[in-house]
């Protein structure tokens, strides 16, 4: 994998502090440059602490949230009030704690038919982004199987070359909606947050093993700007040379 920037911290809360700081700086930079920032959130459990830091002073108050647009890298096919919903997790840990206008939050409609929801999100992104324009800052996580967003090993979404969002499925067949590598790789900054011992073996393969993106889809994340940073705690980084 072309060498991303790797930052290792003693513990999860230090990772979260750095994530919040990097997101805040990217947001302030984008707002200063073009008047607004496009921010993409990851689901799962890892980003929760980072979202809490980002929505607490001082980081919270450094960002003009009215100039931020929030998107989602993927969503489970559940209603927004479901405990599985990535939108709900973001709402509880970030969006409900900052003064971001409702109209600036672009939820993937997990309650819809997956193909229809993916098509609708594709249309939204085509409306909001110029053809070669990507997200200003994109937060991703990584599963122990090397997936990111809902780009799971050996699934069709890994081969998508044109659509920005597709329906996909997990290894055990659960439907998902996900942004695709072509769109994610237009991002200006991609931050991958990875913490915990359980991710160490996979990170070793992803960052220091042979390229095998069908098996390790996160290896497909190679933003053209090369601004790709893995933010790890010592436990997740424990197998790296
Ligand atoms: C999701 C996420 C997914 C997540 C990884 C890691 O919908 O679950 O978008 O890609 O980032 O599964 O999940 P954890 O952070 O819970 O380990």
177-235 per-position pLDDT tens digit: 999 999 999 999 999 999 999 999 999 999 999 999 999 999 999 999 999 999 999 99
Give distance in angstroms: CA of 34 to centre of ligand 1. 31
**CA 87, 89, 93 angle in degrees (round to 5)?**
120
Q: Of all protein residues, whose CA lies closest to atom 10 belonging to ligand 1?
A: 149
Please choose, from the candidates 217, 227, 206, 207, the residue with its C-alpha nearest in 3D space to the C-alpha of residue 74: 217
Q: Are strands 189-194 and 137-140 parallel, antiparallel or unpaired?
A: parallel
pLDDT of residue 2 exceeding 80, the answer is no
Query: How far is Cα 117 from Cα 115, in angstroms, rounded to an integer?
Result: 5
Give distance in angstroms: CA of 35 to centre of ligand 1. 30
pLDDT tens string 19-32: 999 999 999 999 99
Q: Provide the greatest CA pair distance for the chain.
A: 45
Mutate which of 82, 143, 150, 235 for ligand 1 pocket (most atoms within 8 A of beta carbon): 143
């Amino acid at each position: 994998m072309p060498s991303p920037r790797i930052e290792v911290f003693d513990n999860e809360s230090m990772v979260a502090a750095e994530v919040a700081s990097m997101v805040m700086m990217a947001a302030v930079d984008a707002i200063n440059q073009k008047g607004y920032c496009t921010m993409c959130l990851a689901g799962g459990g890892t980003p929760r602490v980072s979202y809490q830091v980002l929505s607490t002073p001082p980081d919270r108050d450094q960002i003009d949230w009215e100039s931020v647009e929030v998107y989602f890298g993927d969503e489970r096919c559940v209603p927004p009030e479901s405990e599985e919903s990535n939108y709900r997790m973001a709402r509880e840990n970030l969006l409900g704690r900052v003064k971001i206008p409702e109209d600036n939050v672009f939820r993937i409609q997990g309650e819809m038919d997956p193909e229809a929801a993916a098509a609708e999100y594709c249309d939204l992104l085509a409306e909001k982004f110029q053809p070669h324009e990507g997200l200003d800052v994109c937060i991703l996580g990584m599963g122990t199987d090397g997936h990111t967003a809902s780009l799971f090993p050996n699934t069709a979404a890994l081969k998508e070359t044109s659509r920005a969002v597709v329906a996909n499925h997990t290894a055990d067949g659960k439907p998902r909606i996900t942004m695709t590598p072509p769109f994610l790789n237009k991002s200006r900054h991609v931050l991958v947050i990875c913490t915990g011992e359980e991710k160490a073996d996979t990170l070793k393969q992803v960052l220091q093993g042979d390229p095998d993106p069908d098996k390790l889809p996160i290896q497909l994340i190679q933003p053209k700007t090369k601004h790709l940073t893995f933010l790890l705690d010592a436990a997740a980084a424990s197998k790296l040379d």
